[in-house]
Amino acid sequence: DTGVSQNPRHKITKRGQNVTFRCDPISEHNRLYWYRQTLGQGPEFLTYFQNEAQLEKSRLLSDRFSAERPKGSFSTLEIQRTEQGDSAMYLCASSLAGQGPHQPQHFGDGTRLSIL
């Protein structure tokens, strides 16, 4: 399977714990995005990387959230001191920059976070 891969698929944790999610993009894609989706809403942008550089962060991304893409391949999203409001589906997407003005983003199946 050469699509975007996200792990774990589902994470249940107690409030106050730290969690980390991993995303493996499509191998030749140099852009990687994180989104969050809550029930009944469309995905909302959190942050994105071009290669290893984090180019933009949404104001939704509080200081409890941190994302990395250390070698420009896989990425991790960490949430510290989780809160009830962090319960959501966390989606990762990747795309190829430099092949024309626009390229579609391709999504993984997400990590569903449930805070007890």
Residues in contact with other proteins by the rule CB under 8 A: 4, 6, 31, 33, 35, 40-45, 48, 55-56, 58, 91, 93, 97, 101-102, 104-110
Q: Going by C-beta distance under 8 Å and a sequence separation of 6 or more, which residues neighbour residue 47?
A: 33, 34, 54, 56, 57, 58, 61, 67
Which lies closer to other proteins via its Cβ, residue 14 or residue 104?
104
Q: How far is CA 72 from CA 40, 57, 105, in A?
A: 32, 17, 17
Which lies closer to other proteins via its Cβ, residue 21 or residue 35?
35
Q: Nearest distance from residue 12's CB to other proteins, in Å? A: 15
Which lies closer to other proteins via its Cβ, residue 24 or residue 80?
24
Which lies closer to other proteins via its Cβ, residue 80 or residue 106?
106
Separate counts of helices (H) and strands (E) for the chain:
0, 11
Q: Nearest distance from residue 94's CB to other proteins, in Å? A: 11
Q: Can you say whether the dihedral through the CA atoms of 27, 30, 35, 41 is positive or negative? A: negative
Q: Nearest distance from residue 78's CB to other proteins, in Å? A: 20
